[in-house]
């Protein structure tokens, strides 16, 4: 059964700093890995989807990488802004599974 | 606009009173699922559906029912709600059950059972 871990659970950075969020997974036979953003009490917004055949995916100031062999993905946020403050979740299905398993998230605070 | 719509957004009910949370998507997606989110436990899947009339249990199905009579709708039914079902619920959909496609989430339903 797939297990997804996100470290750290919380992160506080000053505005303008570049930062990296980490996600690790136990079952490397994944179809894809998806990063989401969740604002307090709100739904999940999809940020990036990386297919198993890809190593990177970029959207604006966000860049996600995927290393299946090591069971790791990172989300890089460039030039962070206060509006980036939210909880970031990664999710991956397991081998032969249609079920997404989520990490518990990293709560990011960007201080003006 | 492509979206997943849940209703209601907020619901307070009493123990044992049957309720239904609706979910509808306008993207012609095959795969739909329900999750609950609890502090310290994260998001856990309740039920999923690979297509019309095809549903299966996720990790925490006890106390819940679902149906998929139409492709766009996937209601979550609590026949006899209990306080331990107080949670934030999310419906999600994706184009295919084959696992290669992006998941889209609704805005959530905050349920309180007293």
Q: What is the pLDDT along chain A (112 residues), one digit of tens a residue?
A: 889 999 999 999 999 999 999 999 998 888 889 999 999 888 899 999 998 888 999 999 999 999 999 999 999 999 999 999 999 999 998 766 667 899 999 999 999 9
DSSP character for A42? S
Q: How does residue B99 score in pLDDT terms, banded at 50, 70 and 90? A: low
pLDDT over threshold 90, residue B70: yes
pLDDT confidence of residue A2? 87
Residues B71, A29: Cα–Cα separation, whole Å: 29
Average pLDDT over residues B47-74: 95
DSSP character for B73? B
| Cβ <8 Å between A44 and B105 | yes
> Which of the two residues, A55 and B75, has the higher pLDDT score?
B75
Q: Which residue has the tokens 């997974």?
A: A25
Q: How does residue B93 score in pLDDT terms, banded at 50, 70 and 90? A: very high
Closest-approach residue (CA) in chain A for B91: A43
B78, containing H or E segment: strand B76-78
Chain-centroid distance, C-alpha B32: 8
B4, containing H or E segment: strand B4-7
Mutate one of B9, B31, B42 to test the A interface: name it (highest A CB count within 10 A). B42
Average pLDDT over residues B38-65: 94
Q: Do residues B34 and B23 touch, judged by C-beta distance below 8 A? A: yes
Q: Which residues contact A48 (CB under 8 A, 6 or more apart)?
A: A34, A35, A57, A58, A59, A62, A64, A75
Nearest to A92 by CA among A26, A9, A7, A20: A26
User: Is B110 at the interface with chain A, CB within 8 A?
Assistant: yes
| Cβ <8 Å between A51 and B100 | yes
Residues A10, A14: Cα–Cα separation, whole Å: 14
The tokens describing A40, both together, are 């307090």
Mutate one of A100, A104, A106 to test the B interface: name it (highest B CB count within 10 A). A100
pLDDT confidence of residue B14? 97
Which residues of A are less than 8 Å from B40 in CB distance?
104
Which residues of A are less than 8 Å from B43 in CB distance?
89, 91, 102
Chain A (2-61) residues lying within 8 Å, Cβ to Cβ, of chain B:
31-32, 34, 36, 41-46, 49, 51
Rounded to 5 degrees, what are φ and ψ at B100?
-100, 5
pLDDT confidence of residue A28? 85
Average pLDDT over residues B10-15: 97
Which residues of B are less than 8 Å from A49 in CB distance?
101-102
Q: Which of A32, A102, A103 is nearest residue B99 as measured by Cβ atoms?
A: A32
* Cα–Cα distances in angstroms (integers) from residue B95 to residues B31, B50, B52, B54, B98, in the given order: 6, 10, 13, 15, 9
pLDDT confidence of residue B86? 98
């Amino acid at each position: 059964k797939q297990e997804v871990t996100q470290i750290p659970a919380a992160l506080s950075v000053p505005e303008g700093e570049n930062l990296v969020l980490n996600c690790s997974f136990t079952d490397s036979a994944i179809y894809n890995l998806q990063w989401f953003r969740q604002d307090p009490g709100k739904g999940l917004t999809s940020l990036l989807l990386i297919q198993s055949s890809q190593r990177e995916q970029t959207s604006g100031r966000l860049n996600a990488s995927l290393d299946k062999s090591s069971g790791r993905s990172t989300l890089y946020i460039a030039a962070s802004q206060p509006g980036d403050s939210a909880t970031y979740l990664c999710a991956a299905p397991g081998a032969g599974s249609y079920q997404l398993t989520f990490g518990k998230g990293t709560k990011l605070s960007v201080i003006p | 606009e492509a979206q997943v719509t849940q209703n209601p957004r907020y619901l307070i009910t009493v123990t044992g009173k049957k309720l239904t949370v609706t979910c509808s998507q306008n993207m012609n997606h095959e795969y739909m699922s329900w999750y609950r989110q609890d502090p310290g436990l994260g998001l856990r899947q309740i039920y999923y559906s690979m297509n019309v009339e095809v549903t299966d249990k996720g990790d925490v199905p006890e106390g819940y029912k679902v149906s998929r009579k139409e492709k766009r709708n996937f209601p979550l039914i609590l026949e006899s709600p209990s306080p331990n079902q107080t949670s934030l619920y999310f419906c999600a959909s994706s184009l295919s059950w084959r696992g290669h496609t992006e998941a889209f989430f609704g805005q959530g339903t905050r349920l309180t059972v007293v």
